[in-house]
Amino acid sequence: MSNPAIVGFSGNLTNPSKTRAFVDLIVQDIANRHGLSSRTYDIDDVGPSLGAAKWARDLDARAQAILSDVLAADVLVVGSPTYKGSYTGLFKHFFDLIDPTALKGKPVLLTATGGGERHALIVEHQLRPLFGFFEAFALPTAVYATDKDFTDGVLRSELIQKRAAQAVDEIAVLLANKSGVRMAAE
């Protein structure tokens, strides 16, 4: 039995990035709680071949390796900064290159960041439908954080930390059920 993997993917273009730090915080929490291998990527890691790619095969080797990690993950944590009420265009383009059946049933924890509360519904009106299209299992609890929830790029809001912990607890239930199914099958 291989070690399950958790992969984080952030739609941010800048470095350092609150969104990437937020996604990675959640990825590391899940990985540490459950002894999982983990990786976190953002659009910058995918590199310049993404913008010109019409198909996944058009990506360079590094970008294809990241795409393979996303597809092979047992759990995904995705996040995007909010631009004009939605996720970033390159974030969407990355997922446009994925076969519509490739994420079917995959647990996905949805996160987003934004400048203020008025963008909080990005997770419900933008991210949830995107992953619903793929028939992924978007966890019931999504997490949105604003600029005021961070200090020097680090999440400081206790309320948002509690909400993130609630989402991580939902992952724990899924992983326990998955382990139970594996154990019963062995």
pLDDT at 186: 40
Could you tell me the two tokens for 12? Answer: 């941010």
pLDDT at 4: 62
pLDDT at 182: 43
pLDDT at 13: 84
HEC-encoded secondary structure of 133-186: HCCCEECCCCEEEEHHHEECCEECCHHHHHHHHHHHHHHHHHHHHHHHHHHHHC
d(CA 23, CA 18): 9
pLDDT at 3: 56
The tally of domains found in the chain comes to: 1
pLDDT at 183: 34
Question: Domain containing 98 — which CATH number?
Answer: 3.40.50.360
Q: At what angle do helices 158-185 and 18-34 cross, to 10 degrees?
A: 40
pLDDT at 184: 38
pLDDT at 176: 76
The pLDDT tens digits along the chain (186 residues) read 345 699 999 998 888 889 999 999 999 999 998 889 999 999 999 999 999 999 999 999 999 999 999 999 999 999 999 988 899 999 999 999 999 999 999 999 999 999 888 788 889 999 999 999 999 999 999 999 999 999 888 889 999 999 999 999 999 888 777 654 443 334
Q: Are strands 143-146 and 107-114 parallel, antiparallel or unpaired?
A: parallel
pLDDT at 134: 97
What range does the domain containing 54 cover?
5-185
